[in-house]
Amino acid sequence: MDEVAQHGDMKRRVWLTYNQGVYDITDFVKKHPGGSAIMMGAGGSADPFWDLYAVHKEEHVLKLLEQYRIGNVRPDEVGSHRAGMTDDPWAAEPRRHPALRPSARTPFNAEPPPALLADNFLTPNDLFYVRNHLPVPTVEPATYELEVDGLGVRGLSLSLDQLKKNFKPVTVTATIMCAGNRRSEMSAVKAVRGLSWGHAAVGNATWTGARLSDVLRAAGLEGDAAAPGRHVCFEGLDTDPSNTPYGASVPLEVATDPRRDIILAYEMNGQPLSRDHGFPVRAIVPGVVGARNVKWLGRISVSAEESTSHWQRSDYKGFNPSVDWDTVDFSKAPAIQELPVNSAICWPASGDTVKVKDGTVALKGYAWSGGGRRVVRVDVSADGGATWHEACLTATEPTAPAGRCWSWCLWSGRVPVPAGAQTAQLWVKATDASYNTQPESVKNIWNLRGVLSNAYHRVDVKLKRV
């Protein structure tokens, strides 16, 4: 390990260790998707950082690493280099409901069984999908402070009590969907990089908090300061080993528009936020991808440029199906904000045996569109799209003003199946108020990060005639 420590920069070449292996990664540093963060392990061990960013432990990453292996740590030193380097970053993780199905445990990412979603217009807090990028921070409400600063504001620091008492509380019903929802369907076409989400990385809840526009006004932001081209950057209290927080941003004109209903939420479904969902305060940006709804909010800053966070600049962007990891340029694509129309069948599940009654089978699910666009129709088919049948919208938010329908709708229906068939493939597609509808093919919207997966949802079932 003394020899490894002598190779901590590009001039002397960059070595690091992982488990017992020693790797010369000098020629890989410029190719690292996470940029210069890889240098945090230079001249030492990558283990604590890879424990934090468990995505590194995927098979294709480990194979890539082996290309740079130059030897092994002495047997008597294996493991000793980890002592005292870092505490277990996952030791204080909260307890989770056993019904959640993890796609990763560190950081914790999990979704509920899809059938549970279709039973509740408001997703129960304990069953709401969890998307964490870093360890869950432990925040003491008595000492919590939210900092507001940047261009055109005089600066403001708010305690949790001040946020609750000094600003009118607003309650918004809004769906949050992960950009990677339904990624596993893209992976079935061709491998992508990212968590293997099913179709339940989505949930609907009522959120209560202070309007972001009110807080920015209290911080001194004037109407003429909301100039085009500026951004509101959110920083979380969750940090990586270099003390860099999770961050994201939205355009300032969006943040200052009270009709966008962006709030700094401290309650979810009438209860204080849980730790997994951002306690004590998180941003709720209705109609926008979940990645911009920053949890454990510690700072809001008005900036001349969008957030410099990795997750704003180098992730959560879409590309055409022919772009691969050798040709991708994240700087050429805009960050995902509003999500496209989407829907899914929550029941039955693929492989289920369903009863055929009067030549039809029952099915149910959810549909949602970003940007406040109401879902106006859900169509289902069991004959490969030869015929379509309109489902019933069973749960909606009927009083939401036009362009401000932030919540999903639940739907159910029955669809005729081909006579004599023993199996069927059920299809669903939704149409929103702008008459946007879902594309038919996953193949034609495939992208290397597996985001924006909104093709027709399909479920294969067995038929039992009664």
Catalytic residues: 32, 56, 131, 178, 316
Instruction: Round to whole Å and give the CA distance between 333 and 254.
Output: 19
Instruction: Round to whole Å and give the CA distance between 108 and 93.
Output: 9
Cross-strand partners of 428: 380, 457
Cross-strand partners of 371: none
Do 112 and 100 contact (CB within 8 A), yes or no?
Answer: yes
HEC string of 135-188 equals: CCCCCCCCCCEEEEEECCCCCEEEEHHHHHHCCCEEEEEEEEECCCCCHHHHHC
In the block, tokens 């597609």 appear at: 429
The total number of residues written for the chain in this structure: 466
The DSSP letter of residue 8 is: B
Question: Letter for the amino acid at 119?
Answer: D
Q: How far is CA 4 from CA 66, 84, 231, in A?
A: 17, 17, 43
Residues ≥6 apart with Cβ < 8 Å to 109: 102, 103, 130, 131, 132, 195
Instruction: Round to whole Å and give the CA distance between 148 and 218.
Output: 10
Q: Where are the alpha helices (DSSP H) in 53-93?
A: 59-66
Tokens representing 447? 């992208």
Give all strands of the β-sheet with 360-368 in edge-to-edge order: 342-347, 360-368, 409-416, 392-395
In the block, tokens 């993780």 appear at: 93
Residues ≥6 apart with Cβ < 8 Å to 24: 7, 13, 14, 15, 68, 70
Q: Give backbone dihedrals phi and psi of 311, rounded to 5 degrees, phi first.
A: -75, -10
Give all strands of the β-sheet with 101-105 in edge-to-edge order: 101-105, 108-111, 130-131
Give yes or no for a cis peptide into 112 (omega within 30° of 0).
no
Instruction: Round to whole Å and give the CA distance between 217 and 341.
Output: 33
Q: How far is CA 305 from CA 79, 94, 254, 260, in A?
A: 43, 35, 14, 21
